[in-house]
Structure 1
Amino acid sequence: MEVQSKLHAIDWIVLSITLIFIVAYGTYVTRKNTNVTDYIKGGSDSKWWTIGLSVMATQASAITFLSTPGQAFHSGMGFVQFYFGLPIAMVIICVVFIPIYHKLKVYTAYEFLEGRFDLKTRSLAAILFLIQRGLAAGITIFAPAIILSAVLGWDLLMLNIIIGILVIIYTVSGGTKAVNVTQKQQMIIIFIGMLIAFFMIMSQLPENITFKNALEIAGASNKMEVLDFSFDLSNRYTVWTGILGGTFLMLSYFGTDQSQVQRYLSGKSVRESQLGLIFNGLLKVPMQFFILLIGVMVFVFYQFNPAPLNFNPDANDEIRKSKYAQEYSNLVSKHREIEKTKKAIFANGFQENEKRRVQQLNVADLQVKKQAKEIIDKIDEENLLKKIESNDKDYVFIHFILNNLPRGLIGLLLAVILSAAMSSTASELNALASTTAMDLYKRNVIENKTEKHFVKASKWFTLAWGILAISVACIANLFDNLIQLVNIIGSIFYGNVLGIFLLAFFIKFVKGNAVFIAALITQTIIIAVYLLDWLPYLWLNLLGCALVMGIAIILQIFIPTKEKLKI
């Protein structure tokens, strides 16, 4: 596979100016934050559009812009169903969560749990958050780093460190406000970059292929099947997993994850926070649909242009050096022959009666790709020094960018990817530090200190979590599809935490000891269910939430007194 491994000077200029501006701007405008309210809650003066964009930027990591198009390229538009529960979750959070958080003037979501239950329940929920979000912070750095290192030849370790340090500089300096103000700039860059990418893809299709024709070509290959109403639990993305599992995941993430809660706790008022989340709810699903559509259009582009059998350049390099080189070369020839046949069908004006023939060719191509992955997996097993990943979903879009877009625009889209990595990582480090400082350090270790002391402590905790995130990034390995990995980590922990909050909000007779024991039991069960692969990961949110609530209620009913629930 030929890959443009060196950036042109204009791409370096665009990329460097964009990233330096973001870091310098965020550091400069928030340099005077000296009290806890300013540093952790951003001065509580954010407008709804700042909150909305910040919430979107926190969730839309580099993984979104690298993995999602690749997901659509291989599997079509069905992944958008994952987000169907998001608007429902936004409404519930606006009605239930936000008024309570603002009324209590909390710094973190978990602070509320101490007043409702007790200190140990607050601390447990905070620790569960720190575990899963600490891991995720490393992945949001690692995801773009490993892909850019593979396709551009940049040093992976150095990339991890550079991305981490850029984020640490302005997050340590300005806290929540620095994260909020930089995320506005980052989202603008992201929106512009993705729109330009879409129109550039369309402009590079043959002249006789309109957008309607492109959709028909994608549809013939089953890429436009958005809705799946089946009740098959083996299907990872259906309308039901999106609405039920997705709603619980989004409720957990936006309602109890401090990296998101901290975004709308900075709101000037309850109304500003609510409008910010509604804005996110209205825009997020269309945005994900559009990013998936870009992936589908990349698929259409490669119906008229040669595509590698596997998009991972590392895998291709290892194949060329292996004893399987000739066997793989034979598969490449079969793949190119299938591509040639499909191109002839589409170039002559695709007709509905040719759809069956196209589907047969797609099945044949999938079989060739399966055999290619089996070869890569064999090489991986035999190579003890280096992980060789056969799954190439995360490399599809970056391959297209580097090989088919003009100079300057490549730099802009690389800036989009790195900006997304920085925005989500900054939110995570900011939230990790706030939770550590306010929920664990201040409440369990030391309380009687000045605001200046806790601001300084928060900065040190931000630095510490930043270093840990960089460390996780440096030892991480690519896992199936990166966007799924982040959601899997969240699903293992989020349902349990959401159940604790729902008990706090609605089941008033349940007390702290019952909740604490139920949460420990639930977390053990959820981890076991995931490891044994009994359910698709999206259902873990619903299961975890139901388990912790059910177990806590049973414990409270049958062992109601504190004396019987000694901890």
Structure 2
Amino acid sequence: MSWIDWLVLIAFLAYTIWDGTRRGKDSDTIEGYLLANRSMPWWAAGLSVMATQASAITFIGTTGIAYVEDMRFVQTYLAIPFAMIFICMFLVPFFNKMQNFTAYEVLEERFGLKTRLTTSGLFLISRGLALGVVIAAPSYVLSLLLGLPLNITILIIGIIATLYTTVGGIAGVINTDVKQMIVMMFGLVFCFGLIWMYLPEEVGFDGALYLAGSLDKLTALDLNFDLTEKYNVWSGVIAAFFLMVSYFGTDQTQVQRYLTTDSVKNARKSLLLTAYAKVPMQFFILLLGVMLYVFFIFNSAPASFRASEPVAQTEQQVQSEQQILQQYETAHQARKEAALEAVQSRNESTQQLFVETDAEMNEARDAELALQAEIRQADVNDTNYIFPYFILNYVPVGVIGLIVAGIFAAALSSIDSELNALTTVSIVDWYQRLIGDVHDEAYYVKSSRGVTFFWGALATGSALLMGETRSIIELVNQIGSYFYGSILGVFILLLWVKRATGTGALVGLLSGMLSVFIFDRLFYNATSGDYSFFLPWSTVPESYTKAIEFLWLNPVGTTVVVCVGVIISFIHNKE
């Protein structure tokens, strides 16, 4: 990056620290620090909800998925409007009536302290694990963009987020999230417009859609019901409904946002903002990834979007590298010519030729990635490097700094929210509950700041130790799917099963977690028709695939918790 870009980035980061910490003076009570005295406007809370989920993972991972695959990932978000309506009808009034600090306080009155601590403990584990990923994932590509060592970018993100969250509390978090959301959206819209502008005049936006459609890149809906497919309409509407209700309705990172509003009406409005905007936003980001693919048909692109390392080491690898790159360049040029001819004539023969040349180019690209994997002796994937490559090589000077700031903003907006939520659960559900309310407000505010610093340091440390992930956005959803369904089941028992007992809820929760683990490790051999269970450290044969994909773990966990909880409660009540 040029010195102008560095100046823009440094100015943004400095403003973020100032903007987040200046609200610290309003956080002199525990309610002020953790809930902003329930005085935040609905639109700010709503934008904070969106910014928390629209992290750097959304910037980098979603565009990469659309580039490498298609737009079917949008189906994961189809359930959001239905989930938001459900939460607004049932959970928001309940939480508002209880006037609680966390989503898990309400469990103790019906189910006892053990259930409350177990559920909140699962939240701490799940979000603690995810937070390391949220810091580490964008750091890899930011290190490429900035030309800095990986450890330095991790420390920059971790330290800045921890600093202003520790000082400013939830008011500082929401205040910075609003600005960060604006910067994020500017970066996405600018890149989309830039791609459109760089397309050849004879292609244009209409031609780009024609080419993308010819390659099935615009496929957004899959109506086939298949538990082994990650993304289809059924997993997006049914399985993801459980994920989204649990995430937005029982996860403290989201619940805490609408607990900062002053009424049920405003809490609902903050959630409905996400209901209206989230699916179109995700569709736009995926379309940006597809447009990137069309852009690189007419502009130079490397066989691998990763950095030049690793280089070939043996003579045979050198020869293979040269042969692959020659094949790639030839296929890339042939694809460009075929694309121009296909757009101009738009008949079946030219379209088929374009599809064939695209397949040849991707065959060479896959061979290059396989060679890199052989040299590294590790799985290699460049999905998370595609968008950063475009930023570095095609975005004008000055704007690069602003877009990189947008990626930083996306990372920070997720980290600060999780830090604040982890602190709230740690203090309210554990520390304050177990030792009793024996200290004054100043003590608990000071303790909250100390706990925020602890979680920030722990997450930053774990990010430093974490390996690079294959698809960062999928990994976060997979981590969440291990926990969300089971936690949702406990809340269903709380709200709609009047005879449910604490023993039933606790045994159901543990049973749900066990069932999720079992189904996640269940594999299917399509040739023999056999099902096999593999432990996490076992080697899974290539002939086996997942029996059910991760989104379906959410309804599995919920169903098992409710069923086991009802049965155990019936037995307990009978005794």
**TM-score (structure 1 length as normaliser):** 0.94
Q: Assess, with a 3 A threshold, how the Cα gap between structure 1 residues 407 and 389 changes in structure 2: closer, same or farther.
A: farther
* SS of aligned partner of 2:483: helix
* SS of aligned partner of 1:318: coil
Query: Is the Cα contact below 8 Å between 1:129 and 1:257 reproduced in 2?
Result: yes
Q: Assess, with a 3 A threshold, how the Cα gap between structure 1 residues 13 and 501 changes in structure 2: closer, same or farther.
A: same
CA apart distance, 1:465: 0.3
CA apart distance, 1:29: 3.0
CA apart distance, 1:361: 2.6
Query: Is the Cα contact below 8 Å between 1:163 and 1:418 reproduced in 2?
Result: yes
Q: Deviation string for 1:206-257 (max 9, x for gaps)?
A: 1222211111111111110111101122221101110011111111110111
> Which 4+ runs in 1 deviate beyond 4 A?
none
* SS of aligned partner of 1:228: coil
- After TM superposition, list the pairs within 5 Å mapping 1:369-518 onto structure 2: 369-381=365-377, 389-518=379-508
CA apart distance, 1:68: 0.8
Query: Is the Cα contact below 8 Å between 2:135 and 2:157 reproduced in 1?
Result: yes
- After TM superposition, list the pairs within 5 Å mapping 1:3-42 onto structure 2: 7-42=1-36
Partner of 1:330: 323
Aligned length: 548
Query: Is the Cα contact below 8 Å between 1:70 and 1:394 reproduced in 2?
Result: yes
Partner of 1:352: 347
1:209 to 203, 208, 215: 203
Query: Is the Cα contact below 8 Å between 2:192 and 2:288 reproduced in 1?
Result: yes
Mapped pair 1:277 → 2:250: no
**TM-score (structure 2 length as normaliser):** 0.93
Q: Assess, with a 3 A threshold, how the Cα gap between structure 1 residues 322 and 260 changes in structure 2: closer, same or farther.
A: farther
* SS of aligned partner of 2:469: coil
CA apart distance, 1:349: 5.0
Q: How far apart, CA to CA, are the structure 2 residues paired with 1:508 and 1:169?
A: 44
Q: For 1:285, give the aligned amino acid.
A: V
CA apart distance, 1:335: 1.8
Q: How far apart, CA to CA, are the structure 1 residues paired with 2:572 and 2:108?
A: 21
Query: Is the Cα contact below 8 Å between 1:113 and 1:504 reproduced in 2?
Result: yes
CA apart distance, 1:51: 1.1
Mapped pair 1:170 → 2:164: yes
Q: Deviation string for 1:338-395 (max 9, x for gaps)?
A: 21111112223521312222222333333333333322222232xxxxxx55111110
Query: Is the Cα contact below 8 Å between 2:92 and 2:268 reproduced in 1?
Result: yes
Partner of 1:542: 555
Q: For 1:558, give the aligned amino acid.
A: I
1:219 to 213, 231, 236: 213
Q: How far apart, CA to CA, are the structure 2 residues paired with 1:309 and 1:182?
A: 38
Query: Is the Cα contact below 8 Å between 2:107 and 2:115 reproduced in 1?
Result: yes
Q: Assess, with a 3 A threshold, how the Cα gap between structure 1 residues 344 and 501 changes in structure 2: closer, same or farther.
A: same
Query: Is the Cα contact below 8 Å between 1:322 and 1:379 reproduced in 2?
Result: no
Q: How far apart, CA to CA, are the structure 2 residues paired with 1:365 and 1:504?
A: 55
* SS of aligned partner of 1:348: helix
Q: How far apart, CA to CA, are the structure 1 residues paired with 2:513 and 2:361?
A: 42
Mapped pair 1:318 → 2:313: no
Partner of 2:183: 189
**Which deviates more, 442-451 or 536-545?**
442-451
Query: Is the Cα contact below 8 Å between 1:84 and 1:242 reproduced in 2?
Result: yes
Query: Is the Cα contact below 8 Å between 2:338 and 2:357 reproduced in 1?
Result: no
Q: How far apart, CA to CA, are the structure 2 residues paired with 1:365 and 1:548?
A: 49
CA apart distance, 1:479: 2.0
2:295 to 298, 301, 304: 301
Q: Deviation string for 1:5-64 (max 9, x for gaps)?
A: xx1011011111111111101111332311111111111011111011000001011111
* SS of aligned partner of 1:560: helix
Q: For 2:264, give the aligned amino acid.
A: V
Q: How far apart, CA to CA, are the structure 2 residues paired with 1:319 and 1:245?
A: 43
1:260 to 251, 254, 259: 254
Query: Is the Cα contact below 8 Å between 1:223 and 1:296 reproduced in 2?
Result: yes
**Which deviates more, 398-407 or 233-242?**
233-242
Q: How far apart, CA to CA, are the structure 1 residues paired with 2:351 and 2:230?
A: 26
CA apart distance, 1:303: 0.5
CA apart distance, 1:114: 0.8
CA apart distance, 1:469: 0.6
Q: How far apart, CA to CA, are the structure 2 residues paired with 1:420 and 1:122?
A: 32
Partner of 1:384: none
